[in-house]
Amino acid sequence: MTAPTAPGAAKRDIAARIRAAEEGLLALSHRIHAHPELAFEETLASGWVAEALALGGLTVEHGCYGLPTAVRATAGSGPCHVVVCAEYDALPGMGHACGHNIIAAAAVGAGLGLAPVADELGLTVTVLGTPAEEGGGGKVLMLERGAFDTADAVMMVHPAAQEAARWRGSAVSVLGVTYRGRPAHAGAHPEQGVNAADAMTIAQVAIGLLRQQTRDGDRVHGIVTDGGAAANVIPEHTTGNWIVRSGNVAELAALKKRVLACFEAGAVGSGCELTIEPACPDYAEVVHDEAMVTLYRANAEALGRRFPAEGTFAGAATDLGNVSHRVPAIHPMLGLDCLPAVNHQPEFAAACVTPAADRAVVDGAIALAWTAADVAARYPATRS
C-alpha cells in the first residue's frame, strides 16, 4: 500500500496562501540581499524574518538559544513536529553569493502557508532562523542547546546553479592557524629573526605535497590573513584560516591529523611557535532522509521543477549536516539556471535576485510546505 500523503485540498490551500504572500516574500528576499550581514551579525535580516512570521500569526521569539540573531517561530500543536530552517548570513566581500536571502524567504513562506492549517494537518510547525552558516556553525550551537530536541523532521532549501533533490556533501573542519617568530631587520640582521611567514610557506608546501595521497573528494584550502607588515622586517606573526574537507566525519578526522602534521612541520622547520584553534564547530556530512527526499521531489516536480543534476554540489558543506545525524532531514537545491555562474561567485550573487530566483522563493516555500504536510500524513504510520 502506498503511504499516505496530504490531501489535495489542503495542498491547494497551502499554495494559495503562499502565493497570496508572494509580494512580501520577494520583498523580503530582495531586502536581505541588498543588506548583506556576516555571521552572527544578521541583525536586520533576523529582525525582518521575525517580523514577517509574527505578522503571519506565528508565535515568535527573536534572540534565542543564546544567539541574538536566532529566531524561533511556532504554530500549531499537532503530534508531528516539523522544523523549517532559514539562513540569512552573507559571505565576506561577496554579499549573498550563496543565496541565503532565497533560503530565508522560502522558509518564511513555508511557515506562512502551514501556520493556519497546522492543527488540521496534525502538525507543530517551527521556523528556525539559524545564523552563521557560513563558517559560524549556528545550527550546531542551536542543536547543542536543544533547538531540535522535539523535532520529527527538519528541512530547508538552498539555491544552486542546477536543481538537485540530494547532494553529496562533505564533513568540514575550519582551523585558525597562528605562527609566532621574532622580528628583525630583514637586510641588516636577518639572522636575528625567526620568520613566521616562512613557517606558513613550509606548511603550504607540505599540504600541496600531501594532496597526492588524499582521497578523491578530499579538499584542503586556506588563506593567509596576516603575513607581515613590511618587506624589510622579518615577520614575527602570521595567521591563516584553513578548511579541511572529507567525505564523512571519520575520514575527516584521519585527514585532519595529517594536515595538522603539515602545520607542525612549518613550526619545526622555521623555529616558530604554532597555535591552532577551531574557527567554528566541525560540520558533519549531510545524511538525507530518502523517504522525505522522495516526497519533496514529487512535490517540486508538481510545481514544474526538474532535476537534471542529482548528486551535484559535491564538496560543499553545511551545519545542517550535524542536525541530520540526529533528526531526519533534507536539504535540496533550487536551480536558478544560471550556469556558468555558481555559488560563491559575484555572478551568483547577482543571479539571486532575478526572476528565476524569485520563482525559486515561491516554489521552494510551496514544496517545503507540501512536504511537511505529507510528513504529517505519514506520521502515525512511522510511529506505530
- We report the CATH number of the domain holding residue 150 as 3.40.630.10
Together in a domain, 290 and 269:
no
Are 135 and 41 a contacting pair, CB within 8 Å? no
Domain boundary among 278, 312, 340: 278
Together in a domain, 312 and 254:
no
Are 185 and 296 a contacting pair, CB within 8 Å? no
Spatial distance between the Cα atoms of 145 and 139, rounded to a whole number of angstroms: 10
The neighbour count for residue 140, using CB atoms within 10 Å, is 22
pTM given for the model: 0.93
Domain assignment present for residue 215? The answer is: yes
Residue 247, domain CATH: 3.30.70.360
Nearest CA to 333 out of 157, 170, 169 is that of 157
What was the pLDDT predicted at 302? 97
* Total count of domains within the chain: 2
Together in a domain, 73 and 213:
no
- Residue range(s) defining the domain that contains residue 161: 8-168+286-383
Cell reading at 175: 582551523
Together in a domain, 267 and 341:
no
Together in a domain, 163 and 16:
yes
Q: What are phi and psi for residue 115, nearest 5 degrees?
A: -55, -45
Together in a domain, 187 and 333:
no
Give pLDDT tens digits for 170-214: 999 999 999 999 999 999 999 999 999 999 999 999 999 999 999
Average pLDDT over the chain, rounded to an integer: 95
Domain boundary among 253, 278, 303: 278
Q: How large a percentage of the chain has pLDDT more than 90?
A: 91
Sign of the torsion angle spanned by Cα atoms 318, 321, 327, 328: positive
Beta strands 123-129; 80-86: pairing state: parallel
Spatial distance between the Cα atoms of 3 and 16, rounded to a whole number of angstroms: 25
Give pLDDT tens digits for 363-372: 999 999 999 9
